[in-house]
Amino acid sequence: MLLSEFDYYLPEELIAQEPLPERDRSRLMVVDRSRQTIEHRFFYELPHLLREDDLLVLNNTRVMQARLLGQKETGGKVEVLLTEHREPGLWEAMVKPGRRVGTGIRLFFNENLVAEVVDRTETGGRILRFFKRSSGGELSQEGVDELVEKVGNVPLPPYIHKPIRDPERYQTVYAASPGSTAAPTAGLHFTPRLLEAIADRGVKIVFVTLHVGIATFRPVRTTEIEHHQMHTERYEIPAETAEAINSTKGRVVCVGTTTARALESAATGRHEVRPAVGETDLYITPGYEFKIVDALITNFHMPKSTLLIMVSAFAGIELVKKAYQEAIAAKYRFLSFGDAMMLC
């Protein structure tokens, strides 16, 4: 299938540069797959769109303070984006500019935090070992990961050009498991009060964890989508979540493509999923038969992205095209800080 099927013109002014003052005041487009209809609502109306006995599944990953600004021993400035925590004090990272940042080079982030390049990765990244430096200059690894978290900043997507005033607005209110370099953005619309209202409707709420990698922002570049190499992400399906899915009598409503990807990766049959901890490179394209997901809440995605391809696989290419055309005409806000859609 040609990648051009998933291309569209996104006006730059529709890319939301900051979150709304209130999370649940974003717009919510409701797309009914069976009736082929589109409704325009607000996110705070979600409890009335869910049914008693529905199961709402959320991704509780937390975005790491993964962006660090430092310098080399020569004084040259570097920007480091941590992409994977391998073991205490040891991280996989992207370093830019990466030229002349070879094995053995030390990077300094403040008077207390130092990193040494110990290896390169196959994808052009670096393996960094971090050290905590005492006032006397001695290096140790005790408490170094906590110091990395303190020194770093939340990395924002490349299409957001304004600094965020409150970094917690790039976290979901239920974020609990650090490990992502990007937020599961469909979850940014929820508030504690909204979650309480959903539970009061008789909807059960459970969690998975999928740590979102920086590769989520990379567009597909192959002419045919089947030739794209999907990136790998770590995920976990707790036993209580698997049990809830396997026993639910209602719909499984996934919040975010990350949640959907985790559940489909662990699926063993229709509404059957196993507890799992591992990595997934599942690439969902049109023709894929969903085993777990009955409804999907997601934001509006970039052209030619694996996320848009997945949404099209779930709701159909033509219906998604129609929905995006309506969203642009109605000046919906797009991407991470933008509005949402519910495909049901």
What is the tens place of the pLDDT at every residue in 147-187? 988 999 999 998 999 889 999 999 999 999 999 999 999 99
Please indicate, yes or no, whether residues 189 and 287 belong to a single structural domain of this protein. Answer: yes
Residue 71: give its domain's CATH number: 2.40.10.240
Asked if residue 144 lies in contact with residue 128, where contact means CB atoms within 8 angstroms, the answer is no
3 state DSSP class of 270:
coil
pLDDT at 218: 82
Domain extent, residue 171, equals 3-63+162-343
Whole-angstrom Cα distance, residue 49 to residue 208? 22
CATH of the domain at 331: 3.40.1780.10
**What is the phi/psi pair of residue 273, to 5°?**
-140, 150
CA trace torsion 230, 233, 237, 241 (10° rounding): -70
If asked whether residues 87 and 212 sit together in one domain, one would say: no
> Which tens digit of pLDDT belongs to each residue from 95-106?
999 888 999 999
Q: Within a domain: residue 53? A: yes
Of 111, 131, 151, the one marking the end of a domain is 151
Q: Can you give the pTM of this predicted structure? A: 0.92
Q: Is residue 90 located within the same domain as residue 200? A: no
Are residues 104 and 218 located together in one domain of the fold? no
Q: Do 238 and 133 share a structural domain? A: no
How is residue 36 written in tokens? 């082929």
Q: Confidence band (pLDDT; 50, 70, 90) for 138?
A: confident
In a domain, 156, yes or no: no
pLDDT at site 136:
65
Same domain, 182 and 255: yes
Domain stops at, among 151, 172, 189: 151
Q: Which pair of tokens denotes residue 44?
A: 């705070």
- Residue 227 makes CB contacts below 8 A (sequence gap 6+) with none
pLDDT at site 62: 96
Is residue 144 predicted with pLDDT exceeding 90?
no
Residues 135 and 52 in one domain: no
Q: Tell me: the pLDDT tens digits for 296-328?
A: 999 999 999 999 999 999 999 999 999 999 999
Over pLDDT 90: what percentage of the chain? 85
27 in Cβ contact with 300 (< 8 Å) = no
pLDDT over 70 percentage in the chain? 99
In angstroms, the CA 316 to CA 236 distance is: 28
Residue 287 lies in a domain: yes
Same domain, 147 and 200: no
Query: What value, to the nearest 5°, has the Cα angle with vertex 167 and ends 85 and 301?
Result: 80
Same domain, 300 and 229: yes
Domain count, the chain: 2
SS3 245: helix
pLDDT at residue 78 above 80? yes
For residue 246, is pLDDT > 90?
yes
Kindly state whether residues 310 and 273 are assigned to the same domain: yes
Q: Which residues contact 132 (CB under 8 A, 6 or more apart)?
A: 112, 113, 114, 139, 140, 141, 142, 143, 144, 147
Taking residues 103-112, report their average pLDDT.
Answer: 92
Query: Strand 295-299 vs strand 55-59: parallel, antiparallel, or unpaired?
Result: unpaired
Q: What is the pLDDT of residue 85?
A: 85
Task: Tell me which residue has tokens 């730059």.
Answer: 12
Question: Rounded mean pLDDT of 65-86?
Answer: 92
- Cα distances from 291 to residues 152, 185, 230, 268, in angstroms, run 39, 23, 20, 8
Domain end marker among 124, 151, 178? 151
157 within a domain of the structure (yes/no): no
Same domain, 215 and 309: yes
CA dist 67 and 151 (Å) reads 9
Shared-domain flag, residues 133 and 188: no
